[in-house]
Structure 1
Amino acid sequence: MNRKKILTLYLLFTVVLMTVLVGYRIYLFVRETDYEALNAENIERIETTLHNKTSYKFAVIGNIRNSMRIFERRIAPLMSESGTEFMISVGNAVYDGAEGKYRLLYRGLKKLKIPYVLCAGHNEIEDFGAGKFYRHFGPYFFSFHLENSCFIFLDSTGRTSWTWQLRWLEEQLTAARNYPYRFVFLNHSLFSLPGFDPDEPHYVLEEKLSRNLRRLFSRYRVTAVFSAGYPAFHERAEQGVRYIVTGGGGGLLLDRSEPYQFVNVTVGPEQVSFENVAARDRLGTVREKLETLKLYLHSLFYMRLFNSLLVLSIISLVALKLYSLILRQEHLYRDFSIDEEELSKSPLRVAMFTNNYLPFIGGVPLSIDRLYRGLVKAGSKTKIFAPEYAEPWSDPEDGSVVRCPALFNLHLAGFPIANIFSRKIKAAFKTFECDLVHVHHPFWLGKKGMRLAKKRGLPVVLTYHTRLERYTHYLPFPGTAIKNLAAHLLIKRFANHCDAIITPTPSTEEYLRNLGVSALIETIPTGIDMEDYNCWTSQEVRELRSRYAASDEPLLISVSRMAREKNLDFLIDGLAKVKEQIHIPFKCLLVGDGPEKARLEEKAAALGLKEQVFFTGNLPPRDVARCYLAADLFVFASTSETQGMVLIEAMAGGCPVVAVRASGVHDAVRDGHNGLMVTESTGSWAKAVAMLLTDRRRLSALSENSRAFAEDFSEEKIAEKVLRLYRRVVVLGKSKAN
């Protein structure tokens, strides 16, 4: 397996992993039920379940630290066996305050069959978790009462002022004098324990604050004060108050003598008892070390698995990108050991893929057909993969056109959608053994051609014929801006995967560069078959002209597909203004067909142009050339062209051009030399047409210049330019392969 395939597989694996991780995160936030104020909900359950009861059991646990497997397997069964009716956590139930940790805790505690209440601890507020605790569980300090007991929860994290809490605490203890038992819960211990750092703020309260609290607890005869703080169990009595540090309910066991444990509290009518319950099955030394290692790895990887893998994936993608750039440096210069002269002598074999072709009449099919004929004349073997049309059409008998079956006979915008899954395409491509693939669209059959080429390591050339953003109105969903953005992204992504791109005009090349296309781009216009013009005699041209216009009448022509993007409403409105501005009678041929033809005919009649404008429908290319030769002026309004091939065709027939200034038009028309360009205003456009119709000398000069300009666009000259690009791409491809 070569280096490129290994990189591709690794990239695919990384992308799949990132997709799974992001998808899982989205699933958790979309599908998992959100939760709020759980403490209030569970306190209500406790009060309802134990209403009027004076005997019950509850468990106090600390430092779960998201160790849900330990909690579920070792702690929860012991609580169930002892008949615990609700559980209280004195903090550090989560590993840190990240949202994922809160959700992991929630999923674990849901498996308990008893209600629970959480006290805010250091871990709960760490990493901006304070707001999450408040939303998911409730206030940081609060209280509730049962028949014979008062439960008071304090905030020892520093989020709430102790000045305020001490005043509130004294009010709560005063109100609770009539309850036989008073329990207080907070995260930090009130005493420092031997063997631990006495200045560790995560474990113990500041000494002065601790003394003030202990005085209050003694004065109001608090039954017991529970805290988490230290990861070890500790119990002491002072001035009638029992102080209990619950120890570790999860996380790492730093002290081998300390097991996972919790405190079981039994409340009765006459007394309350406390029992420290340790998880059974104390492990031996070796297994203890393995368990500790397992918990360490659990904390390091499992608790932060999502973030760790996501970061690793991002780093991998960046590394792959950098590596690909490094590899690309190996091919900054071509391999001069390749015999380019010998390559130039041998005929090339080219496979073309197009979404539309003859008999469909349009700029792209005609452009492809002319390139095909030019390549054949130059000795190259060419095979065209194109859709199969319902209309009868005679393809070359040598099998150089492969017709791809239509997909469910589906038609869009006038042409069939080819079945790219047909085995016929793959079989014909495999047997052709081409040197390169030339695609004419960045999607569908164009994409199919690229995939087949990449599998065989062949270079791919794209001709960018069409401004796709001008055709997005055919897509059956709203949002023009979004559809245009999608079109731009499609073009950029596809073009950057090609080895070379042919643009018909410099402005189209500029557009692709502005879009961010970095591939090799060369401007090569579409060729013209001069035989289509030379085959007509002067008599035949005059006969055609006489069908539409008198000898002294100017004859205008426009050739276009009758579709919305061609701006033909503008053209007809402009012709109506020309009729208003001059008294010279004129005629105009509108050559072409399409979905808008019937509506445009009605519009022309409504504007009083029925006698001036003739809709001829589609004509064969040779007949269109005869129309150009017979006409005096070519009029054009489209702003969606990449080249405006019909402009060059018209000039070859001696027709100067009046057109709206736009890409494609700008590259073909030399303003004042072979035509006139105007702003997209029917008034300006009509004024330019009227001026040329009334100034026959200038019209004649522009006509001569147009013929001279078009001579550089013969099929043979254009095909030779394309062949030079083909050979360059093949050489570069062989260099990279070596």
Structure 2
Amino acid sequence: MNRALLSLFFYANLAIVLAIAAYRAYLYAAAPDASALLVRQIDRIEAVAAEGGPLRFAVVGEGNNSIGMLEREVIPRINASDVDFVVSAGNIVSGGGEDKYRSILQILSHLDIPYLLTFGENEFEEFGSTRFYQRFGPHFYSIALPQARLVFLDATGRTPTDWQERWLRDILQSGEDRPVIVFVGHPLVAPEHETLFEPDRGAWSEPDDRDRLLDLFDRLGVDMVISAGAATYSDQVVDGIRHIVTGGAGGFVVNDETSFYHYLDLSADRDGIQADLVRIDTAPTPLAQRVEGLWFFVYSLFYVGWLNFLAIFSAFVLTAMYLYNRLFRERRYYPDYDLRVPVDPGRPLRIVMFTNTYLPSINGVAVSVNRLKTGLERQGHEVLLCAPSYDDQRPEAGVFRIPILISLGAAFRLANPFHRQTWRAVREFQPDVVHLHHPYWLGSLGLRMARKLKVPSVFTYHTRLEQFAHAIPLPGALFRNVIAHWLVRRFANRCDEIIVPTPITRDYIHLIGVDRPVHVHPTGIEVERFRQRNPTQLAELAARFNPDGRRILVTIARLSKEKNLDFLIAAMKELKARQAPPFRLLIIGDGDERARLTSTIRDAGLTSEVRLVGSVPMQDIPAYLALAQLFVFTSVSETQGMVILEAMAAGLPVVAVNATGVDAFVQNRRTGMLTEEDLDAWTDAVHALLVNRSERQTMARAALEEAQTHSIERFAADIVRVYLIAIGAWERAGKEH
């Protein structure tokens, strides 16, 4: 089957399952206001009975939410008869779910006369007892009419049997001068004929319990017991009490001499009870009747329980597709050693990029994308960068701004993926390759465009999504351990080439199951820009942030939870407690944690030692780094940590928590110090470099030397080679097909 069609089928079934789950949640949250409906029904019945004369009513059993039989055959016949009301002997619903109760309310609305319901096994299951109680009334009750007394028992076990038996003794007198009819949800006496399915069992099914109740009926003068609980008709007298089992108002019947569609027509007055069977035959032959019975059952299943059926079917389809994918899809567990040769088109490339974030927002991805764009354009290539729009954005050649749908400050801009002008701009640009910088939203849009335009797609893995679980409205462990990795794997495997900034990130990409070619290329930096010094600007910054001549530590980080700034502040508190040389930490960056971090700094007594500088223009970053003697970094969520390379280019040794995105650039005890995420060990490293000027200077020189190998020009050239490899592979694949 075509892969795209298979994918569409998979997501269609997934959408069905999710939609049904949402609908189920809606049913529970938006239950109808109908309550105590039996009270109004009893008032209407008592009004009719008060007129005198025999009381005539119909009795149905095993309605089972039947549309074909109960709603379309039984109810119209009852409405056309002269009965005063109708009684369900039990199981008028096929289950106790919210959808079943909503359906039966709709069916009962077709009645022209009042009704009474017996609480049976189907009404009870799936937490249905509460729904029955709220919508209709109590599970057991009695109606004393001039012509007869009607008693409804709860045979499900929901109400204790000894309580109900005590209640019966209270309301019934042995000398009752009117007939007594008891309705109970399961048969107390086995039906006369063997049934296809075993009758329902309930609270009085055990022999001792049944005999005790029947003996109580005999002593209290009960005349008739009517039960549901079996798809049959049975009428027999046992110990002077007439027992009728009626189960033909819906559900599955065999349509033979003992199991057929029917209802009872009863007439009661003080002289006694007359019960007549009303058989419903709608098919001309026995075979047609049996087929009809099966059809009515299946029809009701689909009509009332179709959501259950659809959910189960879709779940099976999803499971089957998953197993097929796991068992039969060919997988590549070793690297692809096919010769991947870059092609030379003989002209500059046209490159389209898609990113969910860009300048003026200051973050690692935005800066990395900007540097790549700059480097590519310096080499003569044409770039069209598609990015969200910002309120304070500046015009920039080669940047196409997409209107946003949702804005939560500068850090989160949700661009409109349906913007038609975006499609038009990309088509008119006629790209040779599409470069994607996020595995979702605009990244997904760019991937669709690449496929539509039949050009290769390249994906750069910038961000450890699992570290943002705190910002996602899903269970943290679920997103962190499953969804984030699934999202990256699924997206990356649909692209042609993958770029990562460090070897350890490449290992992660392979570990989660990405089988596409992976290239390691860290983002370049403008080394010379970080070596430039402006004495006037340095003097101004020193007067502002270091008037008392302390040793300056600096870090650059967004003020958000994943940057681990609480650890950094705790280390500064420990450093102060150790009476280290006077120091001041400048934290450059802004974010949604600013207010909380300000309070944390104040509560720790560090208002003189730690300053939240806020967001700083990119062109001023070198000056702030030149002011410092040491760069500190505690984030554990980086894929690269470009600010570390920038600090090294400025000639600063680095003290950092050993984590991905850091260990690729900081060589422990050569360009800086790496420790575990341990407060004492990390503070020790900072303290050691603060007091050892010679070691600081040695590491500073090594850091600068390392940084000079990561220029923007080299970075751009490496990425162009990946583009040419992707184009070559795409062209070869096209020729093979």
User: Is the 8 Å Cα contact of residues 225 and 243 (structure 2) preserved in structure 1?
Assistant: yes
Per the TM alignment, residue 312 of structure 1 is displaced from its structure 2 partner at its CA by 1.0
Q: Whole-Å Cα distance in 2 between the matches of residues 117 and 33 of structure 1?
A: 19
Q: Whole-Å Cα distance in 2 between the matches of residues 238 and 544 of structure 1?
A: 108
What's the TM-score, normalizing by structure 1?
0.74
1:462 aligns with 2:456: no
Q: How does 1:645-664 map onto structure 2 within 5 Å?
A: 645-659=642-656, 663-664=660-661
Give the AA of the match of 1:298: Y
Change (3 A) 1:378 1:574: farther
Q: Whole-Å Cα distance in 1 between the matches of residues 406 and 300 of structure 2?
A: 59
Q: Whole-Å Cα distance in 2 between the matches of residues 674 and 85 of structure 1?
A: 95
Q: Whole-Å Cα distance in 2 between the matches of residues 370 and 517 of structure 1?
A: 27
Count matched residues. Answer: 711
1:179 aligns with 2:177: yes
Aligned to 2:372: 371
Aligned to 1:668: 665
Give the AA of the match of 2:265: N
User: Is the 8 Å Cα contact of residues 577 and 686 (structure 1) preserved in structure 2?
Assistant: no
1:202 to 192, 195, 199: 199
Change (3 A) 1:511 1:267: same
2:447 to 436, 445, 450: 450
Q: How does 1:14-413 map onto structure 2 within 5 Å?
A: 14-33=13-32, 46-47=45-46, 50-51=49-50, 53=52, 55-95=54-94, 101=100, 104-119=103-118, 143-153=142-152, 171=169, 175-186=173-184, 187-188=186-187, 190=189, 193=192, 196-197=193-194, 202=199, 223-227=223-227, 244=244, 246=246, 248-255=248-255, 260-268=261-269, 272-279=273-280, 283=284, 288=289, 291-298=292-299, 301-302=302-303, 304-325=305-326, 328-329=329-330, 340-341=340-341, 343=343, 349-357=350-358, 363-375=364-376, 381-387=382-388, 395=396, 401-404=398-401, 406-407=403-404, 412-413=409-410
1:497 to 469, 491, 494: 491
Q: Whole-Å Cα distance in 2 between the matches of residues 349 and 198 of structure 1?
A: 77
1:635 to 619, 631, 636: 631
Per the TM alignment, residue 549 of structure 1 is displaced from its structure 2 partner at its CA by 7.8
Q: Whole-Å Cα distance in 1 between the matches of residues 369 and 475 of structure 2?
A: 31
Change (3 A) 1:304 1:490: same
Give the AA of the match of 1:277: V
* Secondary structure, counterpart of 1:367 in structure 2: helix
Q: Whole-Å Cα distance in 1 between the matches of residues 612 and 23 of structure 2?
A: 63
Change (3 A) 1:579 1:357: farther
Per the TM alignment, residue 133 of structure 1 is displaced from its structure 2 partner at its CA by 7.3
2:699 to 689, 698, 702: 702
Q: Whole-Å Cα distance in 1 between the matches of residues 537 and 351 of structure 2?
A: 39
Give the AA of the match of 1:674: T
User: Is the 8 Å Cα contact of residues 644 and 654 (structure 2) preserved in structure 1?
Assistant: yes
* Secondary structure, counterpart of 2:709 in structure 1: helix
User: Is the 8 Å Cα contact of residues 72 and 108 (structure 1) preserved in structure 2?
Assistant: yes
Q: Whole-Å Cα distance in 2 between the matches of residues 588 and 156 of structure 1?
A: 75
Per the TM alignment, residue 158 of structure 1 is displaced from its structure 2 partner at its CA by 9.2
Between stretches 55-64 and 480-489, larger displacement belongs to 480-489
Give the AA of the match of 2:21: V
User: Is the 8 Å Cα contact of residues 495 and 519 (structure 1) preserved in structure 2?
Assistant: no
* Secondary structure, counterpart of 2:24 in structure 1: helix
User: Is the 8 Å Cα contact of residues 335 and 515 (structure 2) preserved in structure 1?
Assistant: no
Change (3 A) 1:109 1:563: closer
Change (3 A) 1:453 1:486: farther
User: Is the 8 Å Cα contact of residues 554 and 628 (structure 2) preserved in structure 1?
Assistant: no
Give the AA of the match of 2:268: V
User: Is the 8 Å Cα contact of residues 191 and 234 (structure 2) preserved in structure 1?
Assistant: no
Change (3 A) 1:653 1:50: same
1:525 to 514, 519, 522: 522
Q: Whole-Å Cα distance in 2 between the matches of residues 490 and 64 of structure 1?
A: 49
Change (3 A) 1:547 1:108: closer
Q: Whole-Å Cα distance in 1 between the matches of residues 35 and 554 of structure 2?
A: 69
Give the AA of the match of 1:197: E
Q: Whole-Å Cα distance in 1 between the matches of residues 624 and 229 of structure 2?
A: 95
Aligned to 1:618: 617
Per the TM alignment, residue 29 of structure 1 is displaced from its structure 2 partner at its CA by 2.9
Per the TM alignment, residue 317 of structure 1 is displaced from its structure 2 partner at its CA by 1.4
* Secondary structure, counterpart of 1:151 in structure 2: strand
User: Is the 8 Å Cα contact of residues 633 and 654 (structure 2) preserved in structure 1?
Assistant: no
Q: Whole-Å Cα distance in 1 between the matches of residues 128 and 616 of structure 2?
A: 72
Q: Whole-Å Cα distance in 1 between the matches of residues 528 and 719 of structure 2?
A: 20
User: Is the 8 Å Cα contact of residues 641 and 665 (structure 1) preserved in structure 2?
Assistant: yes
User: Is the 8 Å Cα contact of residues 556 and 631 (structure 1) preserved in structure 2?
Assistant: yes
User: Is the 8 Å Cα contact of residues 554 and 632 (structure 1) preserved in structure 2?
Assistant: no
Per the TM alignment, residue 175 of structure 1 is displaced from its structure 2 partner at its CA by 0.7
Bigger Rg, structure 1 or 2: 1
Change (3 A) 1:615 1:430: closer
2:430 to 426, 430, 433: 433
Q: Whole-Å Cα distance in 2 between the matches of residues 312 and 332 of structure 1?
A: 33
User: Is the 8 Å Cα contact of residues 439 and 488 (structure 2) preserved in structure 1?
Assistant: yes
Same amino acid, percent of matched pairs = 30
Per the TM alignment, residue 353 of structure 1 is displaced from its structure 2 partner at its CA by 1.9
* Secondary structure, counterpart of 1:248 in structure 2: coil
Give the AA of the match of 2:643: V
Q: Whole-Å Cα distance in 1 between the matches of residues 315 and 341 of structure 2?
A: 46
Per the TM alignment, residue 70 of structure 1 is displaced from its structure 2 partner at its CA by 1.8
Aligned to 2:12: 13
Structural RMSD (CA): 5.7
Change (3 A) 1:486 1:168: same
Q: Whole-Å Cα distance in 2 between the matches of residues 318 and 41 of structure 1?
A: 48
Per the TM alignment, residue 313 of structure 1 is displaced from its structure 2 partner at its CA by 0.3
Q: Whole-Å Cα distance in 2 between the matches of residues 719 and 440 of structure 1?
A: 15
Map Cα deviations across residues 267-323 of structure 1 (whole Å, 9 max, x no partner).
346565444334476745676465345225326644543322211101111223334
User: Is the 8 Å Cα contact of residues 165 and 213 (structure 2) preserved in structure 1?
Assistant: no
Per the TM alignment, residue 226 of structure 1 is displaced from its structure 2 partner at its CA by 4.0
Map Cα deviations across residues 108-162 of structure 1 (whole Å, 9 max, x no partner).
2344343433446676678998898788877877654222423345677899999
Q: Whole-Å Cα distance in 2 between the matches of residues 224 and 402 of structure 1?
A: 86
* Secondary structure, counterpart of 1:431 in structure 2: helix
* Secondary structure, counterpart of 1:669 in structure 2: coil
Per the TM alignment, residue 648 of structure 1 is displaced from its structure 2 partner at its CA by 1.9
Give the AA of the match of 2:632: F
Change (3 A) 1:497 1:392: closer
Change (3 A) 1:118 1:16: same
Unaligned runs of 5+ residues in structure 1 are none
Change (3 A) 1:649 1:167: closer
User: Is the 8 Å Cα contact of residues 349 and 380 (structure 1) preserved in structure 2?
Assistant: yes
Change (3 A) 1:524 1:547: same
Give the AA of the match of 2:7: T
Give the AA of the match of 2:487: R
Give the AA of the match of 1:318: T
User: Is the 8 Å Cα contact of residues 60 and 249 (structure 2) preserved in structure 1?
Assistant: yes
Change (3 A) 1:564 1:342: closer
